[in-house]
Structure 1
Amino acid sequence: MSDESKRPLVHFSPAKGWMNDPNGPVFYKGEYHLFFQHNPDNVYWDNMHWGHAVSKDLMHWEELPIALFPDEQGMIFSGSAFVDKRNDSGLGKEDSPALLLFYTSHDHKTMREMQCLAYTTDGKEFIKYDKNPLIGGKEHTPARDPHVFENKIIGGYSMCFTTEKAVVFYHSTNLLSWEKTGEFFLPEYALQGMIECPCMIEFEKYVLMMSMDVPETEFNKLPKEANAHSRTMQYFVGDFNGLTFTADKEQNEVLLVDYGNDFYAGTVFSNVKEKILIAWMGDFSDEAKAVNTEAEGFKGTLSFPRKLDLCKTGKGYRLHHEFYPCPKGEDGIEFVSNEEGKFLSDRIISESIKENGFLPATNYRVN
């Protein structure tokens, strides 16, 4: 823990105010940049901004001034970041590619959600695109959390975001003008509910992760190792044809990114070779809620970064997690261990990590 009795030492938390989803983790101009859903004015969800922090090593973070403020189009909901190396958007400079921030504008009065853009060429000052929104929306119709990635199948770029029942895909050649190309609807065996925060990851196959607000009527679909709770992350392994995602037919069971209570809205750094995952430790469990950080002026913590791999097992492809990097104390002793059968605080990571990912994220304590 830090000098503040309830502030974590190796998990990022805001200096003050509320934090939830991590947004747009990216490497830009020699630093890891992390944006996050943020209410700087109080310790509860409201009035969403994009907070901003940077790090050289993914352990020691410096919080910077707020990147994006609410405007006449609404609050600033979740999204992603993308470095426009080829300057296809025309928003960069000759000696400095633009860092593009794709986000959802949420009008809380009409419940209209639109996909918008901001950009920077120095990593500090952010300009909202003057032709926002990139993709419009309808009143009382969820459409949120754009995730942008390079399309290596047909060229150009793809964006996916969630509607109430599907993940929709769009394509662009300039990162500004977008056309719809497909939809992915949840299979019958999957957890059903409100979908948020999609994330497409390319391995030897593609993985589509998403966060879910799951009703209790769906709890019977959860794997027996999982804690029954309403907010979770599930994923699908499959193929991307440049237009849309298709899950493998062999997958016929729910696959969870994490089996604990407090792991939500996970996303990966968009331009780092390793697939580095970071998520919101949402304080959904009774144990986490009992740690009252509000009295110290902040609420919300992010998970420690994890390196993801896709491994082939007897049951099919599964995500495999490792801490990245493994933190060490001043005496050189590791806080945690990645070795199978060794203790991670008071919880064992066993052989099942290769098939099922991490067991409960809640209540991990550094030694």
Structure 2
Amino acid sequence: MMKTFYKLLVVVFILSACEPSANNQQEKYNEQYRSKVHFSPETGWANDPNGMVYYDGEYHLFFQHNPDTTIWGPMHWGHAVSKDLIHWEQLPIALYPDSLGWIFSGSAVIDWENTSGLGENGVPPMVAIFTYHNRELENTGTDKFQSQGIAYSLDKGRSWTKYENNPVLPNPGIRDFRDPKVMWHPESEKWIMTLAVLDHINFYSSPNLIDWTLESEFGEGIGAHGGVWECPDLFPLQVEGTDEIKWVLLVSINPGGPNGGSATQYFVGEFDGHVFEPHGERTKWLDYGKDNYAGVTWSDIPDEDGRRILIGWMNNWQYANEIPTSGWRGAFTLPRTLELTEIYNDYLLVSSPVKEFEKLKSGSKKISGSTVSGMQEINMKPQFPMEINLNFNTENNTAMNFGERFGIILS
């Protein structure tokens, strides 16, 4: 039997991931528990990444944000930008709650052809598509308290105008009706919205980001259903080493993950602009660890780059409100490149830290006595910054159950 090795990459860098503009901000980013390369808000609560879009040399990261306290509460869209996915500049809040509700999760796109009519003077609008969560309606007992709205920016995301006729997708009477992820589908020449609805996904289409039509539903009888479905994402990926294109559907679930808490499952299949058809019915997990949730990918990365880049919330609802930070709570994973590989007639997602982190590396050191069998402790003195490369011998296992059988614990 061929001996196969899989590499698990653990990256621990000490480098400022934010670029504070004043000394007091610099002090905040030297606080205990504050990661130096994982983006975290200067103050307040943060959870799901939202609205990731690339435009004019900047990666935009919006996120669920409560600026007033370190616990989940009235949701805004916080905002940060980066030119290299390593150093982040936090900008003022992009979207505030209004009479229609709090601003829950969603996505953003560049409307290059101005299909929405929201652009001006040849400037394509950056359009945010998000869920309104109306707490007052929820308290009345109705199920119609979540709907989808849009806002647009003509100055690279620095200021936003909400569409005057929001919501663009009213609630038909479904309690969990949220987290729109929108993409342009060139084959059908229309926008596709992937929306989490209770414990399944609804696909909608639109010619203009304003008028939406239900195309199909997906999820009944397939995948994990231990909790509510959230934060979906749909995108095409080329299968490694081939010209084959498959569609990947990410769906976060809370609870019900392999760790018992919140996690992200995925499906691989075909999408024709109307219906998603999965390849096989086996439940697959993006991560088996606890701290990558609600991850979605950037829109509008240039074709010459060709990467599908994801970032997630580095947390788990099992303990999200209990993390012992001061003045802020919630951080985000390292941005990762997603690739698709075919193994044993099935398709698996492969994650790697984005190539930009290569510039932080220097030198290497082999840990003596590093062959481990079974559960074993390795004592070492960490020297930061540090990257750990581990090779697993999977001779008596298959790639299909690798993630369930192998792993490391850092303590």
Coarse TM-score class (shorter-chain normalised)? 0.7 to 0.9
Q: Aligned in 2, Cα 1:11/1:356: closer, same or farther, shift over 3 Å?
A: farther
How far does residue 349 in structure 1 lie from its aligned partner after superposition?
A: 5.7
Q: Partners of 1:16 and 1:22 in 2: how far apart?
A: 16
Counterpart of 2:58 (choices 12, 31, 45) is: 31
Q: 3-state DSSP class of the match of 1:210?
A: strand
Counterpart of 2:150 (choices 110, 117, 121) is: 117
Q: Aligned in 2, Cα 1:46/1:138: closer, same or farther, shift over 3 Å?
A: farther
Q: Aligned in 2, Cα 1:290/1:154: closer, same or farther, shift over 3 Å?
A: closer
Partner of 1:348: 390
Partner of 2:230: 196
Partner of 1:213: 254
Which deviations, in whole Å up to 9, do the C-alpha atoms of 1:268-288 show, x marking residues without a partner?
A: 0011131001000114567x8
Kindly indicate whether the alpha-carbon contact (under 8 Å) linking 1:261 and 1:285 is maintained by their aligned counterparts in 2.
Answer: no
Which deviations, in whole Å up to 9, do the C-alpha atoms of 1:292-328 show, x marking residues without a partner?
A: 11x2x10001000000011111150100111103525
How far does residue 154 in structure 1 lie from its aligned partner after superposition?
A: 1.7
Q: Aligned in 2, Cα 1:101/1:349: closer, same or farther, shift over 3 Å?
A: farther
Kindly indicate whether the alpha-carbon contact (under 8 Å) linking 1:186 and 1:192 is maintained by their aligned counterparts in 2.
Answer: no
Counterpart of 1:148 (choices 182, 185, 188) is: 182
Q: Aligned in 2, Cα 1:275/1:52: closer, same or farther, shift over 3 Å?
A: same
Structure 2: state its 5+ residue gaps.
1-13, 15-28, 139-144, 238-244, 366-370, 372-377, 379-385
Q: 3-state DSSP class of the match of 1:54?
A: strand
How far does residue 140 in structure 1 lie from its aligned partner after superposition?
A: 6.2
Q: Aligned in 2, Cα 1:330/1:78: closer, same or farther, shift over 3 Å?
A: closer
* Root-mean-square deviation over aligned CA pairs: 2.9
Partner of 1:162: 196
Partner of 1:313: 343
* Amino acid paired to 2:176: P
Partner of 2:205: 171
How far does residue 260 in structure 1 lie from its aligned partner after superposition?
A: 0.5
Counterpart of 2:87 (choices 56, 60, 71) is: 60
Counterpart of 2:269 (choices 238, 261, 264) is: 238
Q: Partners of 1:15 and 1:181 in 2: how far apart?
A: 41
How far does residue 62 in structure 1 lie from its aligned partner after superposition?
A: 0.3
Q: Kindly tell me the number of residue pairs found equivalent between the two proteins.
A: 344
TM value normalised by structure 2: 0.77
Q: 3-state DSSP class of the match of 1:110?
A: helix
Which deviations, in whole Å up to 9, do the C-alpha atoms of 1:86-115 show, x marking residues without a partner?
A: 111111123321100000000123231000
* Amino acid paired to 1:166: H
Q: 3-state DSSP class of the match of 2:158?
A: coil
Partner of 1:264: 293
Partner of 2:241: none
Kindly indicate whether the alpha-carbon contact (under 8 Å) linking 2:291 and 2:316 is maintained by their aligned counterparts in 1.
Answer: yes
Kindly indicate whether the alpha-carbon contact (under 8 Å) linking 1:319 and 1:357 is maintained by their aligned counterparts in 2.
Answer: no
| Percent identity of paired positions between Structure 1 and Structure 2 | 38
Q: Partners of 2:273 and 2:172 in 1: how far apart?
A: 26
Partner of 1:252: 281
Q: Partners of 2:65 and 2:163 in 1: how far apart?
A: 21
Partner of 1:325: 355
Partner of 1:182: 216
How far does residue 190 in structure 1 lie from its aligned partner after superposition?
A: 3.4
How far does residue 138 in structure 1 lie from its aligned partner after superposition?
A: 4.7
Q: Which has the higher contact order (CA 8 A, sep 6+)?
A: 2
* Amino acid paired to 1:34: L
How far does residue 139 in structure 1 lie from its aligned partner after superposition?
A: 5.7
Partner of 1:338: none
* Amino acid paired to 2:210: L
Q: Aligned in 2, Cα 1:347/1:252: closer, same or farther, shift over 3 Å?
A: farther
Which deviations, in whole Å up to 9, do the C-alpha atoms of 1:122-171 show, x marking residues without a partner?
A: 12010000010000015661100001011133221111111102100111
Q: Aligned in 2, Cα 1:22/1:362: closer, same or farther, shift over 3 Å?
A: farther
The range that moved more, 179-188 or 10-19, is 179-188
Structure 1: state its 5+ residue gaps.
223-227, 336-340
How far does residue 4 in structure 1 lie from its aligned partner after superposition?
A: 1.9
How far does residue 242 in structure 1 lie from its aligned partner after superposition?
A: 0.9
Q: Partners of 1:184 and 1:20 in 2: how far apart?
A: 26
Which deviations, in whole Å up to 9, do the C-alpha atoms of 1:5-30 show, x marking residues without a partner?
A: 22101100000000000001111122
How far does residue 329 in structure 1 lie from its aligned partner after superposition?
A: 7.2
How far does residue 364 in structure 1 lie from its aligned partner after superposition?
A: 6.9
Q: Partners of 1:177 and 1:361 in 2: how far apart?
A: 47
* Amino acid paired to 2:313: W
How far does residue 191 in structure 1 lie from its aligned partner after superposition?
A: 3.7
How far does residue 179 in structure 1 lie from its aligned partner after superposition?
A: 0.9
How far does residue 351 in structure 1 lie from its aligned partner after superposition?
A: 7.4
Q: Aligned in 2, Cα 1:10/1:95: closer, same or farther, shift over 3 Å?
A: same
